[in-house]
Amino acid sequence: MTDTQELPDRSVEPTQPAKTQADPVTRIDQLPDETRLPADLAALYLYMSPAQLAELRAPKRTDGRAGSGPARIQHVEAGAAAQKQAPLYTLAVLRDFAKKHPPTYAFDLALNAGSLGWTTVKLPFFAELEPRIKRGRRVLIGGVWDRADPLREQHFIALMAGRIRFAWLTCSEAATSLWADPASHRAFADKGLALLRNEVQGIEAALQATDELAAGATAAAT
């Protein structure tokens, strides 16, 4: 990726702010059940893509089964105006859905798929709202999918408030991007480097085995 390429991203509109408290809210579980999330953020909360959530939300899914996703807020307005409004979800229904449907973590699947998954599977990453440097290169903060990140909850609250955004990137694109925290960047990139080293070792082992096979065939022919 060159400096002139802008990372693909999805802008986040600020949602209903959390209630004012003496101590700032830093965890999603501190928010009330009636807190509303738009579809994009609801999907990220459930560790899935907006397309996956839309598929679950549909009255009839592409596989023929009835939609089984969390119920969205029913709009009061009738007619075409209501149909044009973006779906909203309360944390209450999202929490209930999450309890009944353990997530499949896309990052784990991307790593298990080897270099193909690393270079093709797009995942959501937290990113600074405005680029620090010219040419539109955004600075990443962490993985929205990263359940092991101790700061994920705080980042998600900031995302809900519109203070940061998220970008859909492949692991390869993210590893070659700029990050706000060098340690986080290194920890993430090390996973990709280890994957590449394993694949290089596999190729080298196969080459050696081919050489040995050819040498054995030559020896048998003489």
Q: Which residue has the tokens 């700029």?
A: 178
Using a pLDDT cut of 90, give the percent of the chain over it.
29
Element at 164 (helix H, strand E): strand 164-170
Mean pLDDT, to the nearest integer, of 170-183?
A: 92
Return the higher-pLDDT residue of 104 and 97.
97
Contact 188, 28 (CB under 8 A): no
Element at 97 (helix H, strand E): helix 91-100
Confidence of residue 207 (pLDDT cuts 50, 70, 90): very high
Confidence of residue 116 (pLDDT cuts 50, 70, 90): confident
Mean pLDDT, to the nearest integer, of 135-146?
A: 83
Q: What is the pLDDT of residue 62?
A: 59
- Rg from Cα positions in the chain: 22
33-47, 90-104, 125-139, 181-195, range with the lowest pLDDT: 125-139
Return the higher-pLDDT residue of 114 and 43.
43
Phi/psi at 77 (nearest 5 deg)?
-65, 145
User: Closest Cα to residue 16, out of 117, 72, 90?
Assistant: 90
Reduced to 3 DSSP states, what percent helix, strand and coil does the chain have, rounded to the nearest 5? 45, 15, 40
CB atoms within 10 A of CB 156: 22
Confidence of residue 201 (pLDDT cuts 50, 70, 90): very high
Confidence of residue 51 (pLDDT cuts 50, 70, 90): confident
What is this structure's pTM? 0.72
162: left (phi over 0), alpha (psi -120 to 50) or beta: left
